Protein backbone atom coordinates (compact mmCIF):
# COMPACT_ATOMS: atom_id res chain seq x y z
CA UNK A 1 0.00 0.00 0.00
CA UNK A 2 1.25 3.52 -0.76
CA UNK A 3 2.39 5.94 1.92
CA UNK A 4 0.16 8.65 3.46
CA UNK A 5 -2.88 6.39 3.24
CA UNK A 6 -2.93 6.64 -0.56
CA UNK A 7 -3.13 3.86 -3.12
CA UNK A 8 -3.66 3.62 -6.86
CA UNK A 9 -6.87 3.18 -8.81
CA UNK A 10 -5.50 2.55 -12.27
CA UNK A 11 -3.09 5.43 -12.84
CA UNK A 12 -4.90 7.70 -10.37
CA UNK A 13 -3.87 8.19 -6.75
CA UNK A 14 -6.82 7.86 -4.37
CA UNK A 15 -7.39 7.49 -0.64
CA UNK A 16 -7.05 3.86 0.39
CA UNK A 17 -10.54 3.97 1.88
CA UNK A 18 -12.00 4.86 -1.54
CA UNK A 19 -10.48 2.11 -3.69
CA UNK A 20 -12.82 -0.75 -2.79
CA UNK A 21 -15.85 1.36 -3.70
CA UNK A 22 -14.32 2.49 -6.99
CA UNK A 23 -13.40 -1.09 -7.95
CA UNK A 24 -16.91 -2.19 -6.98
CA UNK A 25 -18.33 0.34 -9.42
CA UNK A 26 -16.22 -1.12 -12.22
CA UNK A 27 -17.41 -4.67 -11.64
CA UNK A 28 -21.05 -3.74 -11.03
CA UNK A 29 -20.86 -2.15 -14.48
CA UNK A 30 -19.23 -5.06 -16.32
CA UNK A 31 -20.70 -8.09 -14.49
CA UNK A 32 -23.40 -8.96 -17.03
CA UNK A 33 -20.95 -8.99 -19.96
CA UNK A 34 -17.91 -10.24 -18.05
CA UNK A 35 -17.69 -13.73 -19.60
CA UNK A 36 -18.26 -12.46 -23.14
CA UNK A 37 -15.61 -9.76 -22.73
CA UNK A 38 -13.12 -12.29 -21.30
CA UNK A 39 -13.50 -14.44 -24.40
CA UNK A 40 -13.21 -11.46 -26.76
CA UNK A 41 -10.30 -9.78 -24.95
CA UNK A 42 -8.18 -12.92 -24.75
CA UNK A 43 -9.34 -14.71 -27.88
CA UNK A 44 -10.51 -17.47 -25.53
CA UNK A 45 -7.00 -18.18 -24.24
CA UNK A 46 -8.06 -17.33 -20.66
CA UNK A 47 -9.52 -20.84 -20.61
CA UNK A 48 -6.02 -22.29 -21.19
CA UNK A 49 -4.59 -20.16 -18.36
CA UNK A 50 -7.32 -21.38 -16.02
CA UNK A 51 -6.88 -25.02 -17.08
CA UNK A 52 -3.18 -24.80 -16.19
CA UNK A 53 -4.15 -23.36 -12.80
CA UNK A 54 -6.41 -26.34 -12.16
CA UNK A 55 -3.63 -28.74 -13.15
CA UNK A 56 -1.19 -27.18 -10.68
CA UNK A 57 -3.70 -27.01 -7.85
CA UNK A 58 -3.32 -30.64 -6.75
CA UNK A 59 -7.02 -30.64 -5.83
CA UNK A 60 -8.53 -34.08 -5.32
CA UNK A 61 -11.83 -35.65 -4.36
CA UNK A 62 -12.99 -34.60 -0.90
CA UNK A 63 -10.88 -31.41 -0.78
CA UNK A 64 -12.14 -28.04 0.43
CA UNK A 65 -11.33 -25.23 -2.04
CA UNK A 66 -11.68 -21.45 -1.80
CA UNK A 67 -11.90 -19.43 -5.02
CA UNK A 68 -11.39 -15.76 -4.08
CA UNK A 69 -12.57 -13.03 -6.45
CA UNK A 70 -14.19 -15.99 -8.17
CA UNK A 71 -16.47 -13.80 -10.23
CA UNK A 72 -18.55 -15.80 -12.66
CA UNK A 73 -17.27 -19.13 -11.41
CA UNK A 74 -15.05 -20.59 -14.17
CA UNK A 75 -12.55 -22.11 -11.72
CA UNK A 76 -15.17 -22.93 -9.10
CA UNK A 77 -17.20 -24.97 -11.60
CA UNK A 78 -14.20 -27.11 -12.48
CA UNK A 79 -13.18 -27.56 -8.84
CA UNK A 80 -16.74 -28.61 -7.97
CA UNK A 81 -16.53 -31.52 -10.37
CA UNK A 82 -13.11 -32.57 -9.06
CA UNK A 83 -13.87 -32.51 -5.31
CA UNK A 84 -17.17 -34.35 -5.73
CA UNK A 85 -19.97 -34.64 -3.23
CA UNK A 86 -17.59 -35.23 -0.32
CA UNK A 87 -15.74 -31.98 -0.98
CA UNK A 88 -16.69 -28.32 -0.89
CA UNK A 89 -15.98 -25.29 -3.05
CA UNK A 90 -16.51 -21.76 -1.74
CA UNK A 91 -16.91 -19.07 -4.40
CA UNK A 92 -16.04 -15.76 -2.73
CA UNK A 93 -16.18 -12.27 -4.20
CA UNK A 94 -16.33 -8.82 -2.66
CA UNK A 95 -18.69 -7.69 -5.42
CA UNK A 96 -22.34 -8.69 -5.05
CA UNK A 97 -23.10 -8.31 -8.77
CA UNK A 98 -20.29 -10.64 -9.80
CA UNK A 99 -21.23 -13.12 -7.08
CA UNK A 100 -24.84 -13.19 -8.25
CA UNK A 101 -23.82 -13.73 -11.89
CA UNK A 102 -21.58 -16.60 -10.74
CA UNK A 103 -24.35 -18.17 -8.62
CA UNK A 104 -26.86 -18.02 -11.48
CA UNK A 105 -24.37 -19.40 -14.01
CA UNK A 106 -23.34 -22.37 -11.88
CA UNK A 107 -26.89 -23.11 -10.76
CA UNK A 108 -27.99 -23.15 -14.42
CA UNK A 109 -25.24 -25.73 -15.02
CA UNK A 110 -26.64 -27.90 -12.23
CA UNK A 111 -23.68 -27.26 -9.91
CA UNK A 112 -25.38 -26.95 -6.54
CA UNK A 113 -24.58 -29.69 -4.03
CA UNK A 114 -21.03 -28.84 -2.99
CA UNK A 115 -20.98 -25.09 -3.75
CA UNK A 116 -21.18 -22.21 -1.28
CA UNK A 117 -21.23 -18.49 -2.06
CA UNK A 118 -19.75 -15.88 0.27
CA UNK A 119 -19.39 -12.13 -0.19
CA UNK A 120 -15.96 -11.51 1.30
CA UNK A 121 -13.01 -9.12 1.28
CA UNK A 122 -9.71 -10.89 0.52
CA UNK A 123 -7.93 -8.72 3.10
CA UNK A 124 -9.95 -10.21 5.99
CA UNK A 125 -11.35 -13.57 4.91
CA UNK A 126 -14.24 -14.74 7.15
CA UNK A 127 -13.05 -18.32 7.49
CA UNK A 128 -11.31 -20.31 10.26
CA UNK A 129 -7.56 -20.88 10.40
CA UNK A 130 -6.19 -23.95 8.56
CA UNK A 131 -9.49 -24.57 6.76
CA UNK A 132 -8.85 -25.02 3.02
CA UNK A 133 -6.77 -27.53 1.04
CA UNK A 134 -6.38 -25.10 -1.85
CA UNK A 135 -7.02 -21.45 -2.52
CA UNK A 136 -7.12 -19.64 -5.86
CA UNK A 137 -7.45 -16.00 -6.88
CA UNK A 138 -7.65 -15.38 -10.62
CA UNK A 139 -7.38 -11.85 -12.01
CA UNK A 140 -8.43 -10.40 -8.67
CA UNK A 141 -5.34 -9.61 -6.61
CA UNK A 142 -4.49 -6.48 -8.61
CA UNK A 143 -7.83 -4.96 -7.53
CA UNK A 144 -7.17 -5.50 -3.81
CA UNK A 145 -6.20 -2.37 -1.87
CA UNK A 146 -3.81 -4.02 0.62
CA UNK A 147 -2.28 -6.96 -1.22
CA UNK A 148 0.06 -7.86 1.67
CA UNK A 149 -2.89 -8.13 4.07
CA UNK A 150 -4.75 -10.27 1.54
CA UNK A 151 -1.82 -12.66 1.12
CA UNK A 152 -1.49 -13.02 4.91
CA UNK A 153 -5.22 -13.70 5.15
CA UNK A 154 -4.96 -16.35 2.43
CA UNK A 155 -2.04 -17.98 4.22
CA UNK A 156 -4.01 -18.08 7.49
CA UNK A 157 -7.04 -19.93 6.10
CA UNK A 158 -4.99 -22.59 4.27
CA UNK A 159 -4.22 -25.91 5.90
CA UNK A 160 -0.53 -26.82 6.34
CA UNK A 161 0.55 -28.26 2.99
CA UNK A 162 -2.22 -26.35 1.23
CA UNK A 163 -1.55 -24.53 -2.04
CA UNK A 164 -2.20 -20.89 -2.91
CA UNK A 165 -2.45 -20.10 -6.62
CA UNK A 166 -2.46 -16.52 -7.89
CA UNK A 167 -3.31 -16.19 -11.59
CA UNK A 168 -2.84 -12.60 -12.70
CA UNK A 169 -1.80 -10.36 -15.54
CA UNK A 170 1.90 -9.59 -15.22
CA UNK A 171 4.87 -8.09 -17.03
CA UNK A 172 5.68 -9.25 -20.60
CA UNK A 173 9.11 -10.84 -20.92
CA UNK A 174 10.09 -9.07 -24.17
CA UNK A 175 10.01 -5.45 -25.31
CA UNK A 176 8.26 -6.39 -28.55
CA UNK A 177 5.41 -8.16 -26.75
CA UNK A 178 5.21 -5.31 -24.24
CA UNK A 179 4.78 -2.65 -26.96
CA UNK A 180 2.16 -4.64 -28.84
CA UNK A 181 0.33 -5.36 -25.58
CA UNK A 182 0.31 -1.66 -24.63
CA UNK A 183 -1.12 -0.72 -28.01
CA UNK A 184 -3.84 -3.34 -27.68
CA UNK A 185 -4.65 -2.48 -24.05
CA UNK A 186 -4.99 1.27 -24.45
CA UNK A 187 -6.38 1.50 -27.98
CA UNK A 188 -8.39 -1.63 -28.75
CA UNK A 189 -9.59 -2.72 -25.30
CA UNK A 190 -11.52 0.46 -24.30
CA UNK A 191 -13.21 0.55 -27.71
CA UNK A 192 -14.18 -3.09 -27.35
CA UNK A 193 -15.54 -2.36 -23.88
CA UNK A 194 -17.65 0.48 -25.26
CA UNK A 195 -19.05 -1.59 -28.12
CA UNK A 196 -19.79 -4.78 -26.16
CA UNK A 197 -20.39 -3.63 -22.58
CA UNK A 198 -21.25 0.03 -23.17
CA UNK A 199 -18.40 1.00 -20.86
CA UNK A 200 -14.99 2.13 -22.11
CA UNK A 201 -13.79 3.66 -18.82
CA UNK A 202 -14.03 0.42 -16.82
CA UNK A 203 -11.88 -1.36 -19.38
CA UNK A 204 -9.42 1.52 -19.43
CA UNK A 205 -9.14 1.08 -15.66
CA UNK A 206 -8.55 -2.67 -16.10
CA UNK A 207 -5.68 -1.93 -18.50
CA UNK A 208 -4.20 0.62 -16.10
CA UNK A 209 -4.57 -1.68 -13.08
CA UNK A 210 -2.53 -4.35 -14.85
CA UNK A 211 0.35 -1.89 -15.32
CA UNK A 212 0.28 -0.99 -11.60
CA UNK A 213 0.35 -4.63 -10.42
CA UNK A 214 3.65 -5.98 -9.02
CA UNK A 215 5.85 -7.83 -11.50
CA UNK A 216 6.59 -11.55 -11.23
CA UNK A 217 9.58 -11.35 -8.88
CA UNK A 218 8.00 -8.69 -6.68
CA UNK A 219 4.83 -10.74 -6.19
CA UNK A 220 6.91 -13.84 -5.45
CA UNK A 221 8.70 -11.85 -2.73
CA UNK A 222 5.38 -10.67 -1.31
CA UNK A 223 4.15 -14.27 -1.08
CA UNK A 224 7.37 -15.27 0.67
CA UNK A 225 6.88 -12.40 3.15
CA UNK A 226 3.32 -13.59 3.82
CA UNK A 227 4.72 -16.96 4.93
CA UNK A 228 4.44 -19.13 1.86
CA UNK A 229 7.28 -21.53 1.03
CA UNK A 230 8.55 -23.06 -2.21
CA UNK A 231 7.01 -20.11 -4.04
CA UNK A 232 7.37 -20.24 -7.81
CA UNK A 233 5.76 -18.73 -10.88
CA UNK A 234 5.07 -19.74 -14.45
CA UNK A 235 4.91 -17.20 -17.27
CA UNK A 236 2.26 -17.73 -19.92
CA UNK A 237 1.68 -15.97 -23.25
CA UNK A 238 5.03 -14.20 -23.06
CA UNK A 239 4.57 -13.08 -19.47
CA UNK A 240 1.30 -11.26 -20.15
CA UNK A 241 -0.07 -13.63 -17.51
CA UNK A 242 1.76 -15.39 -14.69
CA UNK A 243 0.65 -18.12 -12.31
CA UNK A 244 2.25 -17.92 -8.86
CA UNK A 245 2.09 -20.90 -6.54
CA UNK A 246 3.00 -20.99 -2.85
CA UNK A 247 2.69 -23.68 -0.16
CA UNK A 248 1.77 -23.26 3.48
CA UNK A 249 4.39 -25.03 5.58
| Residues placed in the known binding site for S-adenosyl-L-methionine | 72, 93, 121-122
| DSSP H stretches of helix in the chain | 16-30, 34-42, 46-57, 74-83, 96-108, 147-157, 175-183, 189-197, 200-212, 216-225
Render the burial of 148-176: b for 16+ CB within 10 Å, e for the rest. ebbbbbbbbbbbeebbbbbbbbbbbeeee
Other beta carbons within 10 angstroms of residue 183's beta carbon come to 11
- Report how far residue 240's alpha carbon sits from residue 242's, in angstroms, rounded to the nearest whole number: 7
Residue 140 contacts residue 214 (beta carbons within 8 Å): no
Name the binding residues: 72, 93, 121-122
Nearest to 164 by CA among 121, 110, 217, 226: 226
Render the burial of 22-60: b for 16+ CB within 10 Å, e for the rest. ebbebbebbbbbbbebbebbeeeebeebbebbbebbebe
Amino acid sequence: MAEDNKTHFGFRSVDSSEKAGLVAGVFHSVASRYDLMNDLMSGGIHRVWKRFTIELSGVRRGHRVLDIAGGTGDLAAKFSRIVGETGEVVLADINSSMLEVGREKLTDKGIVGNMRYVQANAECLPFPDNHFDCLTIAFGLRNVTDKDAALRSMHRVLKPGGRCLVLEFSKPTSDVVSKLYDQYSFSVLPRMGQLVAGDSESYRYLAESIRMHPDQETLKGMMDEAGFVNTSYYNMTGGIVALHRGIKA
